[in-house]
Amino acid sequence: MNTILITGCSSGFGLETARYFLGRGWTVIATMRTPREDLLPASDKLRILPLDVTDAGSIAQAVAAAGPIDVLVNNAGVGLLNAVEGVTMDQIREVFETNTFGTIAMTRAVLPQFRERRAGVVVNVTSTVTLRPLHLLSIYTASKAAVNAFTESLALELAPFGVRARLVLPGLAPETAFGDNARARMGMTIPEPYAEIAAQVFARFQTQTGPITRALDVAEAVWLAATDEASPMRIPAGADAVEWAKAG
């Protein structure tokens, strides 16, 4: 029986990935800051656990409660869209605490069992914004680019133990609540000198007509990373992500 632990399952990519693996007979441990039983179909293969990836105690409790797992998906993340001058160092640290350090902490927590069993997969969900520079995304991109570098080096460390590490890189996903969640947690007061740039960025978002990423695209990419030993290190998720990866 295969077991997967997914962080950040309250919405978006994490929720869809949990649903996808449940539908394929896996045991799913869906974690979220505030557990909700109504988000996923009732199943004897589903467990919902509280988890704050920025809290060492919460991580320890969740990993202990989960027991042996076969795949870890580090999906939990927070967004930030602003000029560097428009954010505080506390906000910057919060982004890195969740997106970067939270991913590393969760990985460290499960590696002993993977190494001892000489089996397991770590799948880290980052973003295609790491493939090219974009306005107002310097902090968010940095937090995700760090995870890319971490994962690629980690894969070398783990290979002798039969453990794999992979990256899933989604594109723009307007169907998810990621942007709204970012504004709710971080606020978004653009400094006046950057107002014109911000207006152009927001206008492009609103008039986006090209290919996009759906949550299902990410779930399918995670499935590939988790189940196919021959999967590439970086897996773009979404039609736009595929285009960006090719261009890069």
Which sequence positions are flagged as catalytic?
Answer: 140
User: If you write DSSP's letter for every residue of 199-242 in order, what string do you get?
Assistant: HHHHHHHHT--S----HHHHHHHHHHHHH-TT--SEEEESHHHH
Distance CA 134, CA 194 (A): 14
Please say whether the dihedral angle defined by the alpha carbons of residues 68, 18, 101 and 214, taken in this order, is positive or negative.
positive
At 167 the three-state DSSP class reads strand
Please say whether the dihedral angle defined by the alpha carbons of residues 149, 2, 41 and 44, taken in this order, is positive or negative.
negative
H and E: helices and strands count for the chain: 9, 7
Q: Where are the alpha helices (DSSP H) in 97-177?
A: 102-117, 138-158
Distance CA 84, CA 82 (A): 6
